[in-house]
Amino acid sequence: MTEQFPIEANEVHEVEPVETGRRAFLGVAAGVAGLCYVGALAYPIYRYLDSPSEMALGAAAVTEVTLKDAQKLPTGSVLMFKFGSSPAMLIHHTDGRWISLTAVCTHLGCTVQYEPDADRIHCACHGGVYNPYTGANVSGPPPKPLKAYKVTVGAADVTVSRA
Ligand code: FES
């Protein structure tokens, strides 16, 4: 059995809707704050995990590098530079030839070094050796040759491009 209370014509019952509205607002505010918090935590992780693919895309997008004043490089010496995001080397051999090769070892990715006295390119990580004229893998664990670039020597610079 329910009791009935007389309701006057101008009586307004706003207590219940106001309470529901406040709860809904607080729920939405908490949800938005939670999403912001998760986003603040997740974005740096996303950037960290995505950076290698971005770097790879950036490196692939680079097709040519101009090295200002590199035409002055003395014979028997090397200039290390970045081709995109990867280390590379420009070698001016004693016979006058210009050779440019990637400096990333094909074994496990260490940076290789040109050794003019031994006339070789050497990887100190596991003893890999490459031919300094062709980039061919000569001895040690490297499974493939170093990638060669095309070299164009100008009056004021040297341009290295994908072959
Ligand atoms: S990384 Fe160069 S020889 Fe292993």
Segment 34-53, tens digit of pLDDT:
776 776 766 666 665 566 56
Ligand 1: nearest atom to the Cα of 141: 3
- CB distance 118 to 80 below 8 Å: no
Q: Which of 159, 161, 162 is nearest to 71 (CA)?
A: 159
Query: What is the Å distance from ligand 1's center to 69 Cα?
Result: 31
Residues 111 and 70 occupy one common structural domain: yes
The average pLDDT across 112-136 equals: 97
Q: Is position 1 within any domain?
A: no
Q: Mean of the pLDDT values across residues 97-124?
A: 97
18 pLDDT higher than 80:
no
Task: Tell me whether residue 52 is in a domain.
Answer: yes
Q: Which atom of ligand 1 is nearest to the CA of 140?
A: 3
Q: Are 83 and 149 in contact (CB under 8 A)?
A: yes
CA 6 to centroid of ligand 1, rounded, Å: 92
The verdict on 36 and 84 lying in the same domain is no
CB 79 within 8 A of CB 88: no
Q: What is the pLDDT of residues 143-153, one digit of tens each?
A: 999 999 999 99
Mutate to test the pocket of ligand 1, among 101, 102, 105, 144 (most ligand atoms within 8 A of CB): 105
Q: Is residue 2 part of a domain?
A: no
Based on the fold, state whether residues 19 and 49 are members of the same structural domain. Answer: yes
Task: Give the distance (Å) from ligand 1 centre to CA of residue 140.
Answer: 8
Residue scoring higher pLDDT (59 or 111): 111
- Unique residue bearing structure tokens 């949800």: 31
| Residue 93 CA, ligand 1 centroid: distance in Å | 24
The answer on 118 and 81 residing in a single domain is yes
Over range 112-135, report the average pLDDT.
97
Q: Are residues 108 and 42 in the same domain?
A: no
Q: Are residues 100 and 22 in the same domain?
A: no
Weakest-pLDDT range from 21-30, 104-113, 124-133, 153-162: 21-30
How many distinct helices (H) and strands (E) make up the chain? 1, 10
**Spacing, Cα 103 to ligand 1 middle (Å):** 11
Mean predicted lDDT score pLDDT of the chain: 85
Ligand 1 atom nearest to 128, measured from its CA: 3
Please list the alpha-helical segments (H only) found in the chain. Answer: 15-61
Pocket of ligand 1 (CB under 6 A): 105, 107-108, 110, 123, 125-126, 128, 140-142
Return the CATH number at 69: 2.102.10.10
Q: What is the pLDDT of residue 131?
A: 98
Give the model's confidence band at 7: pLDDT under 50 very low, under 70 low, under 90 confident, else very high: low
In a domain, 5, yes or no: no
In a domain, 121, yes or no: yes
pLDDT of res. 40: 74
Domain housing 76: 64-162
pLDDT of the residue at 17: 58
Span 114-127, average pLDDT: 97
108 CA closest ligand 1 atom index: 1
